[in-house]
Structure 1
Amino acid sequence: MIPYGRQSISGEDLAAVEAVLRSDWLTQGPAVPRFERAVADYVGAPHAVAVNSATSALHLACAALGVGAASRVWTVPNTFVASANCGRYCGAEVGFVDIDPRTYCLDPHDLARRLEVASGQGRLPDVIVSVDFAGQPCDYQAIAQLKAEYGFRLIDDASHAIGATCSDVRVGALPVADITVFSFHPVKIVTSAEGGMLLTADPALAAAARRLRSHGIERDPVLLECPDEGAWYYEQQALGWNYRITDLQAALGASQVARIDGFLARRRALAQRYDTLLAELPLISPWQRPGGVSARHLYPVLLRDKVQRREVFERLRASGIGVQVHYLPVHLQPYYRRLGFAPGDFPVAEDYAERTLSLPIYADLSDASQDQVVAALKEALS
Structure 2
Amino acid sequence: MLPYGRHAVDQDDIDAVVDVLQNQFLTQGSTVPAFESALCDYTQAAHTLAVNSGTSALHVACLAAGVGPSDLVWTVPNSFVASANCARYCGADVDFVDIDPLTRSISIEGLKNKLANCSKFPKVLIVVHFAGVSCDMQAIAALTSRHNITLIEDAAHALGATYQDKPVGSCQFSDMTVLSFHPVKSITSAEGGAITTNDKGLLERLTLFAKHGITREPSSLEDKEQGAWYYEQQALGYNYRMSDIHGALGLSQLNKLDAFIQRRREKAAFYLKALRPLPIRLPSEETLATSAWHLFMIELSTHDRKAVFDALRSRGIGVNVHYIPIHIQPYYQKLGFQKGDFPYSEAFYKHAITLPLFPTMTASQQQHVIDTLIDVLQ
Tell me whether the two structures share a fold, i.e. TM-score over 0.5: yes
What is residue 354 of structure 2 aligned with on the other side?
A: 358
SS in 1 for 2:195: strand
Read off the aligned partner of 1:26 and give its amino acid letter: L
Q: Does 1:371 align with 2:364?
A: no
Q: Quick check: 1:259 aligned with 2:222? A: no
CA contact (8 A) 2:175 2:199 kept: yes
TM-score (norm 1): 0.97
For 1:29 and 1:213, the matched residues in 2 are separated by 16
CA contact (8 A) 2:327 2:338 kept: yes
5 Å-filtered alignment, 1:240-259, equals: 240-259=237-256
How far apart, CA to CA, are the structure 2 residues paired with 1:291 and 1:3?
22
Tell whether the 8 Å contact from 2:47 to 2:198 is kept in structure 1 after alignment.
yes
Please tell me the residue identity of whatever aligns with 2:277: E
Contact 1:128 1:153 in 2 (8 A): yes
Per-residue displacement from partner, 1:314-359 (whole Å, max 9, x unpaired)? 0111111110000000000000000100011000000000110010
Structure 1 position 223, deviation (Å): 1.2
Q: Which range moves more in the overlay, 46-55 or 283-292? A: 283-292
Give me the whole-angstrom Cα distance separating, in 1, the residues matched to 2:285 and 2:29. 41
Structure 1 segment 72-221 matched on structure 2, within 5 A: 72-118=72-118, 121=119, 123-221=120-218
CA distance in 2, matches of 1:239, 1:173: 29
Tell me the TM-score normalized by structure 2. Answer: 0.98
Cα pair distance change 1:373/1:285, threshold 3 Å: same
- The equivalent of 2:10 in structure 1 is 10
Residue 298 of structure 1 corresponds to which residue in structure 2? Answer: 295
Cα distance in 2, alignment partners of residues 103 and 24 from structure 1: 45
Instruction: Find the aligned partners of 1:292 and 1:365 in 2 and give their Cα distance.
Output: 19
Q: Which deviations, in whole Å up to 9, do the C-alpha atoms of 1:4-23 show, x marking residues without a partner?
A: 00100011000000000002
Relative to structure 1, is the Cα distance of residues 49 and 264 closer, same or farther in structure 2, using a 3 angstrom cutoff? same
Query: Is contact 1:264–1:295 with CA below 8 Å preserved after alignment?
Result: yes
- Note if contact 2:60-2:206 (Cα within 8 Å) is conserved in structure 1: yes
Aligned equivalents of 1:148 and 1:21: distance in 2?
46
Shift of residue 148, structure 1, vs aligned partner: 2.7
154-163 vs 167-176, which moves further: 167-176
Taking a change above 3 Å as real, the CA distance of residues 167 and 266 of structure 1, as seen in their structure-2 partners, is same
Query: Counterpart amino acid of 2:259?
Result: G
Q: Tell which deviates more after alignment, 53-62 or 296-305.
A: 296-305
1:30 is aligned to 30
Check conservation: 1:167, 1:292, Cα contact below 8 A. Answer: no
| Number of the residue aligned with 2:47 | 47
Q: What does residue 328 of structure 2 align with?
A: 332
Deviation at 1:140, TM superposition (A): 1.4
For the Cα contact (< 8 Å) 2:133–2:161, is it kept in 1?
A: yes
Q: Structure 2 CA distance, aligned partners of 1:380 and 1:48?
A: 46
Q: Distance in 2 between matches of 1:292 and 1:370?
A: 20
Aligned-residue Cα RMSD (Å) equals 1.2
Other-structure match for 1:380 = 376
Contact kept, 8 Å, 2:272 with 2:285, in 1: the verdict is: no
Deviation of 1:292 after TM superposition, in Å, equals: 7.7
AA matched with 1:9:
V
Which stretch shifts more, 193-202 or 230-239? 230-239
Query: Aligned to 1:293, what secondary structure does the other structure show?
Result: coil
Determine if the alignment matches structure 1 residue 230 to structure 2 residue 230: no
The 1:291–1:13 alpha-carbon spacing in structure 2 relative to 1, beyond 3 Å, is: closer
Q: Letter of the aligned partner of 2:344 in structure 1?
A: V
Question: Any conservation in 2 of the 1:103–1:289 contact (CA below 8 Å)?
Answer: no
> For each residue in 1:96-135, what CA deviation from the matched residue of structure 2 results, as whole angstroms up to 9, or x when unmatched?
00001111011110011111111xx2x0111100000000
Question: What is the identity percentage for the equivalent residue pairs of Structure 1 and Structure 2?
Answer: 49
**SS of match in other structure, 1:129:** strand
In the superposition, relative to structure 1, how do residues 250 and 80 fare at CA in structure 2: closer, same or farther (>3 Å)?
Answer: same
Note the C-alpha offset of 1:95.
0.2
1 CA distance for matches of 2:73 and 2:333? 17
1:2 alignment partner, SS class: coil
State the Cα distance separating 1:141 from its structure 2 match. Answer: 2.3
